[in-house]
């Protein structure tokens, strides 16, 4: 554990910083698109159209992180569920997985706090209320939906990353994030990420449905990893984008 921390602490910090950036982006666009006094919110009355814009913003944020200099180094998991799925596949050591997950939770909280400091009361007002993810159509439906969207995203990531189109894995992931926010968010809040949800929940003081986002996304992605392992013999990397010119602790290249 100590040797892993000494060797890879920079990557752990990158994971924390990357999710912090994602949360700052989510909070900023949440205020822009949902705050009652925002001119964008006043000009776009249809909530679906606003979700489409939010989806595009967050999908592009995810893609930017994955293909950034930081993302190329750590692999841009920015999600404990993703890290656990790669651990299930044996693509990341347990010590690295533990520190990755800890860093992701820290980054999620830090990102919302930084956004709050920058955006002030506008972020705290409802909406956007710290972009909290919460079920709106029943816990059972939200639980099932979170499992489904998480499983599909992870299965796509694993399938594309092990194909000749591997360089587009991040684009596919970002596209699914955008689609989910536009279409699925009214059902479960569209989290897929325990660290993302906890960051908003802690700062907002609202743990509604928190158990859903701590169980369903990991279960969905672990399910996808298990299915992929059974139908594919491909040995891949734990990075969403394996840049050939960047050292990889998972492949030791």
156, 148 Cβ separation under 8 angstroms: no
Question: Which DSSP state fits 65?
Answer: H
pLDDT of 132 reads: 97
Question: What string of DSSP letters covers 128-185?
Answer: TGGG----SS-HHHHHHHHHHHHHHHHHHHHHHHTSTTGGGHHHHHHHHHHHHHHHTH
90 DSSP assignment: T
Model confidence over 145-155: pLDDT tens digits? 999 999 999 99
Structure tokens at 144: 């099932």
Task: Please state, in angstroms and rounded to a whole number, the distance separating the CA atoms of residues 13 and 164.
Answer: 31
pTM for the predicted model, two decimal places: 0.96
What is the pLDDT, as a whole number, of residue 3?
A: 85
pLDDT > 90: what percent of the chain?
Answer: 91
The number of helices, as runs of H, and strands, as runs of E, in the chain is 12, 0
Q: How far apart are CA 150 and CA 157, in angstroms?
A: 11
Residue 10: the pLDDT is: 96
- 206-242: per-residue pLDDT in tens? 999 999 999 999 999 999 999 999 998 877 899 999 9
Any idea where the domains of the chain sit in the sequence? 2-231
Question: Under CATH, to which class is 2-231 assigned?
Answer: mainly alpha
Helix axes 169-183, 47-66, angle to 10 degrees: 160
Q: Report d(CA 183, CA 244) in Å as an integer.
A: 35
Q: Is the pLDDT of residue 55 over 90?
A: yes
For the stretch 34-44, pLDDT in tens is 999 999 999 99
Mean pLDDT of the chain: 95
- Mark 73-99 as b/e (b = at least 16 C-beta within 10 Å): bbbbbbbbbbbbbbbbbebbeeebbbb
Of residues 188 and 7, more confidently modeled: 188
């Amino acid at each position: 554990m100590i040797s892993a921390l000494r060797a890879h602490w920079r990557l752990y910090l990158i994971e924390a910083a990357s999710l912090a950036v994602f949360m700052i982006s989510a909070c900023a666009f949440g205020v822009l698109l949902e705050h009652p006094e925002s001119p964008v919110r006043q000009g776009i009355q249809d909530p679906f159209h606003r979700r489409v814009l939010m989806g595009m913003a967050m999908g592009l944020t995810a893609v930017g992180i994955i293909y950034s200099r930081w993302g190329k180094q750590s692999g841009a998991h920015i999600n404990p569920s993703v890290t656990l799925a790669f651990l299930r596949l044996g693509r990341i050591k347990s010590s690295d997985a533990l520190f990755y997950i800890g860093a992701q939770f820290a980054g999620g909280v830090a990102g919302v706090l930084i956004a709050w400091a920058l955006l002030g009361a506008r972020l705290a007002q409802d909406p956007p209320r710290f972009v909290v993810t919460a079920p709106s159509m029943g816990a059972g439906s939200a639980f099932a939906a979170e499992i489904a969207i998480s499983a599909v995203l992870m299965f796509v990531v694993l399938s594309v990353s092990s194909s000749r189109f591997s360089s587009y894995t991040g684009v596919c992931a970002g596209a699914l994030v955008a689609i989910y926010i536009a279409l699925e968010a009214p059902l479960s809040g569209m989290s897929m990420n325990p660290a993302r949800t906890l960051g908003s929940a802690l700062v907002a003081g609202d743990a509604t449905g928190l158990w859903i986002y701590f169980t369903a996304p990991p279960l969905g992605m672990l399910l996808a990893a298990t299915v992929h392992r059974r139908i594919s013999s491909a040995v891949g990397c734990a990075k969403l984008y394996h840049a050939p010119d960047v050292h990889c602790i998972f492949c030791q290249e």
